[in-house]
Amino acid sequence: MSCPSCGAPLRVANGGANLRCDYCGNLVVAAADETGTQFIEEAEGQSCPACSMALWNAVVAGVALESCKRCHGHLVTIGVLEALIDRMRALHEESAIPSAADGNDLERKVPCPRCHRSMDTHFYYGGGHAVISTCEPCELHWLGGGVLMQIARAPHEREP
């Protein structure tokens, strides 16, 4: 991505939510889309396991991850998923009774964007009737489009 002021290349700054021009010092804040995702820059060499488009380095609720601009799926590090869900729940306090999961979703084959082996597809056990895919060797979860919000809006016990 190029600086809108001088045309020089931009680099990721401020924890990944903004871009800075080293030439003129301009700071560019990536606007969030309708899902709340701030797309920063294209992730080199990684494509979406659902639609094969390029994945982008992105930020959701202040958490860095990789996302697809077309299907809105998210690639999240295993150790970061719970913190991301907690932040999403804090931003979206309204809950909704999730619809029943489609058992056929468990049959889908999702290739890991990093190692290209088939990810393990399973129910997310934290609520929301959501189906996610996991690559334990790469320590990644794939959440298809809308799954993060489905999990975040699922009824859950709030801490006192």
pLDDT tens, position by position, 60-73: 988 889 999 999 99
What per-residue confidence (pLDDT) applies to 16? 62
What per-residue confidence (pLDDT) applies to 97? 67
pLDDT tens, position by position, 17-29: 678 888 998 888 8
Tell whether the model's pLDDT for residue 131 goes beyond 90. yes
- The pTM (predicted TM-score) of the whole model is 0.81
- What φ, ψ does residue 2 adopt, rounded to 5°? -105, 150
79 CB-side CA count, 13 A: 3
What per-residue confidence (pLDDT) applies to 136? 97
What per-residue confidence (pLDDT) applies to 41? 83
How would DSSP label each residue in the chain?
A: -B-TTT-PBEEEEGGGTEEEETTT--EEEPPB-TTSEEEEEEEEEEE-TTT-PEEEEEEETTEEEEEETTT--EEEEGGGHHHHHHHHHHH-----PPPPPPGGGGG---B-TTT-SBPEEEE-TTSSS-EEEEETTTTEEEE-TTHHHHHHTS--PPP-
35 or 95: which leads in pLDDT: 35
What per-residue confidence (pLDDT) applies to 32? 83
Q: Which residues pair with 30 in a beta bridge?
A: none
Mean per-residue pLDDT of the chain: 87
Q: With bands split at pLDDT 50, 70 and 90, how would you rate the model's confidence at 15?
A: low
**C-alpha span between 156 and 110 (Å, rounded):** 28
**C-alpha span between 81 and 27 (Å, rounded):** 28
Amino acid at residue number 37: T
**C-alpha span between 88 and 39 (Å, rounded):** 17
CB atoms within 10 A of CB 22: 12
Contact of 67 with 39, CB cutoff 8 Å: yes
Query: Residue range 117-133: average pLDDT?
Result: 90
* Domain ranges across the chain: 1-30, 32-152
Query: Residue range 98-123: average pLDDT?
Result: 87
Q: With bands split at pLDDT 50, 70 and 90, how would you rate the model's confidence at 143?
A: very high
Q: Cα-atom radius of gyration of the chain, to the nearest Å? A: 17
